[in-house]
Structure 1
Amino acid sequence: MAEIKDPENTIVMETTKGKVVIELMPDVAPAHVARIKELSREGFYDNVVFHRVIDGFMAQTGDPTGTGTGGSDKPDLEAEFSNVSHARGTCSMARTQNPNSANSQFFICFEDAPWLNKQYSIWGQVIEGMDNVDKIKRGEPVRDPDSIVSMRVAADL
């Protein structure tokens, strides 16, 4: 069991495959961390599917339509690219070709993905439950996809 050092900057995500604990990085991407916490507190991510899951790469979620084209009703975020590397367990925002288009969709890396470095805004790191992330059904789109059951800020639990 991972030690939660800062409950206000930790996400507890219950998925159909089990619990995933994510340590947030407010020092790296403050606006993106604020958005993830805001949407989590609103229950936005509850019952949202993992719509795009590529073996050896990443699992993507955060689209309430489940199609990969949706987002929240909040404005898109300015990019917060950093020197943090996309490694196994990294949580990063999905976006369109426009670097300032991240909104609610995000992905969790299954493996290191250095080609994404400095092109996507990293906001967290899985500290517990990567074994559960590894169990998420693969596909583009996924047939009968796994989903986020609930996603909460640890301080609120």
Structure 2
Amino acid sequence: MRFSTGLAAASVLMLASAAWAQEAAPVVASVSAPASEWRAVAAENLLVIDTDKGRVLVELAPEVAPGHVERIRLLAGRGFFDNLLWHRVIDHFMAQTGDPLGSGEGQSPYPDLKAEFTFRRDSQTPFTAVAAPAGSVVGFLRSLPVQSQPDALMAKMEGGRVSAWGLYCPGVAGMARDDAPDSANSQFFLMRQPYPSLEKRYTIWGRVVSGLDVVRALKFSPNPDGIVTGPDRMTRVRVASDLPEAERPAVQVLDTNSARFRALADAARQAKGADFSVCDIDLPVQVAGAPAA
């Protein structure tokens, strides 16, 4: 059963960390910033997921997982995800979909994907650091929380590129798989809460920039396997660039290079102290345009 073994094991660990996940609420600050401090999300990197509970907008991260982003774009463009169920949803954890059978056993007709658990970044990668724990640095690649080897190592690495990986904060989008690392295909999940034990084990390909409340409102199962009875569904999934211009939502995220973002990050570090995590930073977002289909 696709993704049943790996994520079922993780759901057992979830029971011990559920209380931590509930307490790890992000620091939300009221942000009034000039137009120059907002970054527009490119239409080709914006996945529009309409569900029977509302709209979810995911910013794709092609620098992090180019093969998986290409697959998501392909399947969305062909209408593969339309009307598929959120068949596996675990509270304080994640919501999973992308199975045409709705059972956890199905996938697309395309070949399985090679794992992209980590990626390489150089000085040109759009990365903003917010903290530097011993031996590494954490921050954002656009809207995606990332941990990486420090910049100081770039001069010593081939091609000037250091190793980096996405972090499983709330809203992060990951690819489901079987036990084999290279077995991801069409099923994916969106995080309802942070879950670091998945990091470098399941490919990350984007993050929810709007609609995390919708993800958390999806019907979940109280059973350990997370299989939902009477699940919610996705009604339409498209990359924004594939929609008619009049139907495209316009999304702006606070630029992580802006003074307002630095103030927000500083406030989160001060509020959390030694318990600070990059997941504690909630990026402000502005959405305009057409309503959900």
Into which bin does the TM-score normalised by the smaller protein fall?
over 0.9
Question: CA contact under 8 A between 1:4 and 1:10: conserved in structure 2?
Answer: no
Of 102, 106, 131, the residue aligned with 1:66 is 102
Structure 1 counterpart of 2:136: none
Q: CA separation in 1, counterparts of 2:54 and 2:40? A: 17
Q: CA separation in 2, counterparts of 1:3 and 1:66? A: 37
**Which of 1 and 2 has higher RCO (CA within 8 Å, sep 6+)?**
1
1:129 matched to 2:165? The reply is no
Q: CA separation in 1, counterparts of 2:167 and 2:43? A: 24
Structure 1 counterpart of 2:237: 151
Shift in Å, 1:28: 0.1
Q: Secondary structure at the match of 1:78?
A: coil
Percent identity, aligned pairs only? Answer: 49
Q: CA separation in 1, counterparts of 2:236 and 2:217? A: 17
Scaled by the length of structure 2, the TM-score of the pair is: 0.52
- Where in structure 2 are the equivalents of 1:66-85 lying within 5 Å? 66-82=102-118, 83-85=165-167
Q: CA separation in 2, counterparts of 1:3 and 1:89? A: 19
Q: For structure 2, which runs of at least 5 residues remain unmatched after alignment? A: 1-37, 119-164, 244-293
Residue type of the alignment partner of 2:55: K
Q: CA separation in 2, counterparts of 1:130 and 1:3? A: 19
Shift in Å, 1:143: 1.1
- Where in structure 2 are the equivalents of 1:1-157 lying within 5 Å? 4-82=40-118, 83-139=165-221, 140-157=226-243
Scaled by the length of structure 1, the TM-score of the pair is: 0.97
Question: CA contact under 8 A between 1:94 and 1:107: conserved in structure 2?
Answer: yes
Listed one character per residue, the Cα deviations across residues 94-147 of structure 1 (whole Å, up to 9, x for unaligned) are: 000001000000000111110000000000100001111111000222111001
Larger radius of gyration: 2
**Which aligned runs of 4 or more in structure 1 are off by greater than 3 angstroms?**
none
Q: For structure 1, which runs of at least 5 residues remain unmatched after alignment? A: none
Listed one character per residue, the Cα deviations across residues 49-70 of structure 1 (whole Å, up to 9, x for unaligned) are: 0010000000000000000010
Q: CA separation in 2, counterparts of 1:5 and 1:46? A: 23
Question: CA contact under 8 A between 1:20 and 1:129: conserved in structure 2?
Answer: yes
Shift in Å, 1:4: 4.7
Shift in Å, 1:3: 6.9
The alignment of Structure 1 onto Structure 2 pairs a total of residues equal to: 156
Shift in Å, 1:156: 1.4
Question: CA contact under 8 A between 1:71 and 1:103: conserved in structure 2?
Answer: yes
Q: Name the structure with the higher helix share.
A: 2
Shift in Å, 1:84: 0.9
